[in-house]
Copies of this chain bind each other. A is one copy, B any other.
Amino acid sequence: MALSAIKQMEELARSMPDVISLSQGIPSSPSDTVIRESVINAIRSDMVDKYSAVAGLPELRELISNKLKENGMIYRAEDEIIVTAGAMQALSATIFALTRPGDEIIVLTPTYSYYRRIAELASLKIKTLVLQEHNKWKIDFDTLQKMITKKTKILVMCNPNNPTGSIVSKKEMIRIGILAQKYGFIIISDDVYQSLYFGEGKLPSIAEDESLRKHIVRIVSLSKDYSLTGWRIGFLHADKSVVSKIFETHDLLINCAPVVSQYAGLVALENSERITQESLRKFSEHRMLMGNYLETLRDHLDFQWPDGAYYFFPKIKGVPGSEFGEGGEGHIRLCFGKSKEEIIEGMDRLKNYLVYNTYTQNNYETSHFGIRITEEKAIA
On A, residues with C-beta under 8 Å from B are: 1-4, 7, 11, 14, 24, 26, 30-31, 36, 39-40, 43-44, 46, 48-54, 85-86, 88-89, 92, 96, 100-101, 114, 117-118, 121, 123, 227-232, 245, 247-249, 251-261
Residues of chain B within 8 A (CB-CB) of A227 are: 49
Q: A85-B85, A231-B48, A258-B258 are in contact. Are A252 and B114 (CB under 8 A)?
A: yes
A4, A51, A86: most-surrounded residue (chain B CB, <10 A): A51
Q: Is the CB of B230 within 8 A of A260?
A: yes
Q: Is the CB of A11 within 8 A of B53?
A: yes
Partner of A85, one of B43, B52, B254: B254
Q: Is the CB of A254 within 8 A of B232?
A: yes
Q: A3-B251, A101-B123, A260-B231 are in contact. Are A44 and B36 (CB under 8 A)?
A: yes
Tell me the bound Cα distance from A258 to B256 in angstroms.
12
Q: A14-B53, A248-B2, A249-B121 are in contact. Are A230 and B85 (CB under 8 A)?
A: no
* A105: min CB distance to chain B, Å: 14
Partner of A123, one of B118, B123, B229: B123
Query: Residue on B with the closest CB to A36?
Result: B43
What are 28 A-B residue pairs whose CB atoms fall within 8 Å in the complex? A1-B249, A3-B54, A3-B251, A7-B54, A7-B251, A30-B46, A31-B49, A36-B43, A39-B43, A40-B44, A48-B230, A48-B231, A49-B231, A52-B230, A85-B85, A86-B254, A89-B253, A89-B254, A101-B101, A101-B123, A123-B123, A230-B259, A230-B260, A232-B255, A253-B253, A254-B254, A258-B260, A260-B261
Residues of chain B within 8 A (CB-CB) of A251 are: 3-4, 7
* A344: min CB distance to chain B, Å: 20
* A347: min CB distance to chain B, Å: 21
Residues of chain B within 8 A (CB-CB) of A1 are: 245, 248-249
Query: Residue on B with the closest CB to A58?
Result: B14
Query: Residue on B with the closest CB to A45?
Result: B30
Query: Residue on B with the closest CB to A92?
Result: B253
A48, A52, A86, A247: most-surrounded residue (chain B CB, <10 A): A48
* A184: min CB distance to chain B, Å: 20
Q: Is the CB of A253 within 8 A of B88?
A: yes
Tell me the bound Cα distance from A121 to B26 in angstroms.
31
Tell me the bound Cα distance from A312 to B279 in angstroms.
52
Tell me the bound Cα distance from A244 to B169 in angstroms.
41
Residues of chain B within 8 A (CB-CB) of A3 are: 54, 247-248, 251
Tell me the bound Cα distance from A361 to B58 in angstroms.
28
Residues of chain B within 8 A (CB-CB) of A31 are: 49
Tell me the bound Cα distance from A319 to B353 in angstroms.
74
Q: Is the CB of A232 within 8 A of B249?
A: no
* A83: min CB distance to chain B, Å: 12
Query: Residue on B with the closest CB to A248?
Result: B1
Q: A49-B230, A117-B252 are in contact. List 13 more A-B contacts (CB 8 A).
A: A3-B248, A11-B53, A40-B43, A85-B254, A88-B254, A89-B253, A101-B101, A121-B252, A230-B258, A230-B259, A231-B258, A231-B260, A258-B261
Query: Residue on B with the closest CB to A244?
Result: B2
Partner of A231, one of B114, B229, B259: B259
Query: Residue on B with the closest CB to A52?
Result: B230
Q: Is the CB of B252 within 8 A of A49?
A: no
